[in-house]
Amino acid sequence: MHTSPNSKPWWQSCVVYQVYPRSFKDSNGDGVGDLNGIIEKLDYIRDLGVQAIWLSPFYPSPMVDFGYDIADYCDVDPLFGSLDDFDRLVRETHARGLKIIIDWVPNHTSDQHPWFKESRSSRDNPKRDWYIWRSPSLSQNSENLGGDGLPNNWGSVFGGPAWTFDPHTGQYYLHQFVKEQPDLNWRNPEVQTAMFETLRFWLRRGVDGFRMDVIAMTVKDKELRDNPTNPNASPNLPPNDIYGRLLEKYNLDQDDVHELIRQIRGVLDEFDDRCGIGELWGPLPRWVRYYGQNGDELHLPFNFRLMWVPFSAEGIRGSVDELEAALPPFAWPNYVLGNHDQPRLATRFGGQSQARLAAMLLLTLRGTPTLYYGDELGMENGYIPPEKVVDPQGKNLGHARTRDVCRTPMQWDDSPFAGFSPNEPWLPVSADFQTRNMNAQADDPASMLTLYRRLLQLRRETPALAVGSYSPVTVSAENCFVYRRTSDRAECIVALNFSAENRQVSLPNARRGKILLSTHLDRHETLETISLRPFEGVILALEG
Ligand code: NOJ
């Protein structure tokens, strides 16, 4: 197996950088980012100091869900370029020593996919059973929130019922997202075979791994039973949020999804050194099962827990310790603090100082970090006026839920469209681009970008931080999270002050430590007791 210098598989010692292709760099002036734009910026990504990129979908798509509605799993949408451009992207990425991971969306296709067009054409079409069709009125639940006649009570994540009636054949089809995203029937072996081939198509082209979209949804309850009502649903949900009012008991995380994931892993293992990442939510004891019995499922089930715990030392430490305790010995942790579905981390955590602390946290915990484009500049939620909302979630469930806010164009410089495109982009550039942009931060010794680069460099150069063990250190300082990262060669302490006040933290066993990096980028003392400023974090090398 191809391993990194510290002899861990690459997906354990790397940092992943997520690129949302529509918003990264537009090379042809149509206002939408593309593959050639990404190629132009590969040097930037390499110099940032990450080791892998993950691309959100670039497949042919009607773009109802901006590429998560795929009309052909084996091609590139002309908006993004061509297969030749993709091959060049793979070559150029590898030439810089970076890995490339792509999105794979197995739960649903676009309604424009030829498979669905065939499937909906008649009840006896050979592909009818490739999707999930049911006749009206099988619902066992008289309280079906979606209305009469629906096959069951399930809701679509993006609002409304999960079923749409197709008058042509007189049946409903299932879609757990918008109606233009029909769910595939993964219980049909022909679907499995066809979809496994789509993986091989990209593996042969040299991709190093896949991020698998809502992988736990692929296999549903055999009988499609009604989901129970969620007793803790917020009373403020919009009326059409049926999904939010129900528990996800039968529509996802069924025991037999694991057999499918083992098969997917088998496909990855036909090739050298590839990695499977899954988008997975849910309670820890069930989530941990996605690593497999002995590591035979996903390499990295995405861990999103830190995104929503309270931004406090106790909340964060609780989440990290719970995860560490739940992992079987073969399983490698990972952490995500931002992506294309959630508010920007700088907005979510309350500001730039908190975002700096979060950066140090993400890049010093034990486990593979995934970093979202623009977070390295401290990009905040963009303001999208209601009439400019394009995200189906925002259009259906209300302005407050739109994900457009975290998908605004990358801020490269202070030119009219932030250097993203010469022309008006598909989403408005965030208002702060003239001051918050890559160009302005690149040579500023105190900028967020400089902090990220220094953190990534330190992580690369310090095996204790990249792959060492983790142990929490209990300290008396209120609202401070302190932990030790240890390898056979070195011992580091990370001390993070989550409070808005100064705090004193003493190093364990009265040892001395040299500050390697502060989130404030301004100190390198050697000391026994550290004075941390509000929201300051430091990494120290322990002496002796
Ligand atoms: C999860 C993806 O991250 C999200 O962007 C998408 O809308 C849904 N899955 C549906 O594919």
User: What is the best residue among 55, 65, 66, 302 to mutate for testing ligand 1's pocket, by most ligand atoms within 8 Å of CB?
Assistant: 65
Cα–Cα dist 125/20, whole Å: 37
Task: Look at residue 146 in the predicted model and tell me its pLDDT.
Answer: 64
Number of alpha carbons in the 13 Å side-chain half-sphere of residue 527? 14
Determine whether the shortest distance from the Cβ of 341 to ligand 1 is under 6 A. Answer: yes
* pTM for the structure as a whole: 0.97
Active-site residue flag, 213:
yes
pLDDT band for position 488 (50/70/90)?
A: confident
Q: Token pair of 532, please?
A: 């941390």
Closest CA to 175 of 228, 124, 214: 214
Determine whether the shortest distance from the Cβ of 105 to ligand 1 is under 6 A. Answer: yes
CATH number of 470-542: 2.60.40.1180
| 3-class DSSP state of 143 | coil
Sheet holding 133-134, edge to edge: 133-134, 171-174, 163-166
Residues 6+ apart with CB under 8 A from 254: 219, 220, 221
Mean pLDDT of 426-440: 98
Q: What are phi and psi of 393, to 5 degrees?
A: -65, -45
Mean pLDDT of 322-326: 98
- DSSP annotation of 329 reads T
pLDDT tens digit sequence for 279-309: 999 999 999 999 999 999 999 999 999 999 9
Ligand 1 closest atom vs CA 339: 3
Determine whether the shortest distance from the Cβ of 213 to ligand 1 is under 6 A. Answer: yes
pLDDT higher than threshold 60 for residue 140: no
Residue nearest to atom 3 of ligand 1 (CA): 341
- How many other CB atoms sit within 10 Å of the CB of residue 134? 16
Please, which contacts does 483-487 make with residues 24 or more away whose CB atoms are closer than 8 Å?
483/317, 483/320, 483/364, 483/365, 484/508, 485/364, 485/366, 487/6, 487/463
Mean pLDDT of 471-479: 97
Cα–Cα dist 537/454, whole Å: 13
Share of the chain above pLDDT 70, in %: 97
What's domain 5-107+189-215+275-283+300-451's architecture?
Alpha-Beta Barrel (3.20)
Task: Tell me how many degrees the CA angle 418-419-425 measures, rounded to the nearest 5.
Answer: 70
| Paired strand residues for 133 | 173
Number of alpha carbons in the 13 Å side-chain half-sphere of residue 73? 21
Residue nearest to atom 4 of ligand 1 (CA): 341
Q: How big is the chain, counted in residues?
A: 544
Cα–Cα dist 208/274, whole Å: 5
Residue nearest to atom 8 of ligand 1 (CA): 68
- How many other CB atoms sit within 10 Å of the CB of residue 250? 20
Q: Token pair of 527, please?
A: 């000391």
Which among 34, 279, 404, 491 is annotated as catalytic? 279
Arithmetic mean of pLDDT over the chain = 96
Residues 6+ apart with CB under 8 A from 68: 56, 57, 61, 103, 105, 177, 181, 213
Where are the extended beta strands (E) located within 6-73?
16-19, 52-55
For residue 279, report the distance from its CA to the centre of ligand 1, in Å. Answer: 9
Determine whether the shortest distance from the Cβ of 158 to ligand 1 is under 6 A. Answer: no
Element (H, E) at 515: strand 513-518
pLDDT tens digit sequence for 104-123: 999 999 999 999 999 999 99
Closest CA to 141 of 229, 219, 217: 229
Mean pLDDT of 4-11: 77
Mean pLDDT of 159-171: 97
CA dihedral for 96, 98, 99, 102, sign (positive or negative): negative
For the chain, domain boundaries: 5-107+189-215+275-283+300-451, 470-542
Determine whether the shortest distance from the Cβ of 132 to ligand 1 is under 6 A. Answer: no
For residue 211, report the distance from its CA to the centre of ligand 1, in Å. Answer: 11
Determine whether the shortest distance from the Cβ of 214 to ligand 1 is under 6 A. Answer: yes
Cα–Cα dist 30/423, whole Å: 7
Determine whether the shortest distance from the Cβ of 470 to ligand 1 is under 6 A. Answer: no
For residue 68, report the distance from its CA to the centre of ligand 1, in Å. Answer: 6
Give how far Cα 449 sits from Cα of 47, 48, 54, Å. 11, 8, 20
- How many other CB atoms sit within 10 Å of the CB of residue 54? 24
Q: Token pair of 359, please?
A: 């950066």
Cβ-contact 145, 242 below 8 angstroms: yes
Q: Token pair of 290, please?
A: 């996605």
Cα–Cα dist 61/220, whole Å: 25
| 3-class DSSP state of 3 | strand
Q: What are phi and psi of 484, to 5 degrees?
A: -110, 135
Based on DSSP, count helices (H) and strands (E) in the chain, helices before strands: 15, 19
Cα–Cα dist 464/402, whole Å: 39
pLDDT tens digit sequence for 51-100: 999 999 999 999 999 999 999 999 999 999 999 999 999 999 999 999 99
- DSSP annotation of 533 reads P
Query: What is the Cα gyration radius of the chain?
Result: 24
Determine whether the shortest distance from the Cβ of 481 to ligand 1 is under 6 A. Answer: no
Determine whether the shortest distance from the Cβ of 64 to ligand 1 is under 6 A. Answer: no
For residue 81, report the distance from its CA to the centre of ligand 1, in Å. Answer: 22
Task: Look at residue 142 in the predicted model and tell me its pLDDT.
Answer: 46
Q: How far apart are the first and last CA of the chain?
A: 35
Closest CA to 252 of 300, 214, 196, 298: 214
Which among 85, 183, 208, 213 is annotated as catalytic? 213
Active-site residue flag, 279:
yes
pLDDT higher than threshold 90 for residue 395: yes
pLDDT tens digit sequence for 229-270: 999 999 999 999 999 999 999 999 999 999 999 999 999 999
Cα–Cα dist 512/526, whole Å: 7
Residue nearest to atom 10 of ligand 1 (CA): 68
pLDDT higher than threshold 80 for residue 144: no
Q: Where are the alpha helices (DSSP H) in 378-447?
A: 392-397, 438-442
Task: Look at residue 6 in the predicted model and tell me its pLDDT.
Answer: 56
Closest CA to 449 of 412, 499, 418, 416: 412
Cβ-contact 370, 18 below 8 angstroms: yes
pLDDT band for position 137 (50/70/90)?
A: low
